Amino acid sequence: MATNITKTLGSAPVVPLVQADDPAIAVKTSRALAAGGLTVVEVVFRSDRALECLKAVADEVPEMIAGAGTVLSASQAEAAFDAGAHFIVSPGLDDGVVAIAKERGAPVYPGIVTPGELQHAYNLGLDVVKFFPASIAGGIPAIKALSSVFRTMRFMPTGGISPGNLADYLGVPAVLACGGSWLTPAEAIAANNYDKITTLAEEALQIAAQAKGDK
């Protein structure tokens, strides 16, 4: 699965965040993203029913590779895998979370900002990390500086990514994919406007294709 997700992200390098407190909404949002061509979705643990939302997406939207985001502890990581997560994303680097993912043979993308955190991730055997919060942690220059030292590491910047800067981030060779919430605006969901989400997904893929061509 690790290789498949990395490969999938190579062709559709965008990871949308799904934040819902209703499984039916998480499913509708994920289907709208899939209709726009995206293949990976991160259901974030930021609501009381996040686990149910993740399970619903994993069970009912098989065209999407569903993972869990905002995973803060090893016990949350266990619960996420039990609910059907194929990967884990964390805002920070926690050895316990990484250990659970390794036990399950699944990818984990912990957030890092500093060289020390990145070196720790490297020595835990990771080769892809989240770079969070990207826009206020130095953005593209920071990723370039880190990747000049950690030459095998790939980055998934999140935090402040938008259609306006997506191409610039994806144009950095060390960037595997970008993540973010811009694809799933709360207003569109509240207005039952899932076409908007499909349109945003299509737009992101067009930007990604262009950026890939320019790399």
Query: For ligand 3PG, which is the closer residue by CB, 103 or 159?
Result: 159
Contact residues toward ligand 3PG (CB under 6 A) are 17, 69-70, 132, 158-161, 179-182
Q: Which of 7, 28, 42, 117 is catalytic?
A: 42
CA 175 to chain centre: 12
Written as six digits, the tokens of 189 are 């969901």
> Among residues 23 and 67, whose Cβ is nearest to ligand 3PG?
67
Residue 173's nearest CA partner among 123, 125, 211, 134 is: 211
Q: Taking the CA atoms of the chain, what radius of gyration do you get in angstroms?
A: 16
Q: Which residues pair with 55 in a beta bridge?
A: none
**In the complex, least distance from residue 102 CB atom to ligand 3PG, rounded to whole angstroms:** 22
What distance in Å separates the CA atoms of residue 189 and residue 186, rounded to the nearest whole number? 5
Q: Nearest 10 degrees: CA dihedral of 66, 24, 199, 71?
A: -40
CB of 58 to ligand 3PG, least distance (A): 19
Active site residue 42: yes
Q: What's the closest the beta carbon of residue 12 comes to ligand 3PG, in angstroms?
A: 17
CB nearer to ligand 3PG: pick between 149 and 186: 186
Q: Which CB sits closer to ligand 3PG, 64 or 166? A: 166
The answer to whether residues 87 and 67 touch, using CB atoms and an 8 Å cutoff, is: yes
Amino acid type, 173 = P
Q: Name the residue among 81, 117, 83 with its Cα closest to residue 102.
A: 81
Residue with the CB atom nearest ligand 3PG in the bound state? 180
- By three-state DSSP, how is residue 88 classified? strand
Nearer to ligand 3PG (CB atom), residue 69 or residue 139: 69
Mark whether 130 is an active-site residue.
yes
Of the candidates 7, 130, 187, 203, the residue annotated as catalytic is 130
Cα separation, 131 vs 35, whole angstroms: 27
Distance of closest approach, residue 44 Cβ to ligand 3PG, in angstroms? 6
Task: Compute the least distance from the CB of residue 133 to ligand 3PG, in Å.
Answer: 7
Residue among 191, 149, 204 at smallest CA distance from 174: 149
Known catalytic residues are 42, 130
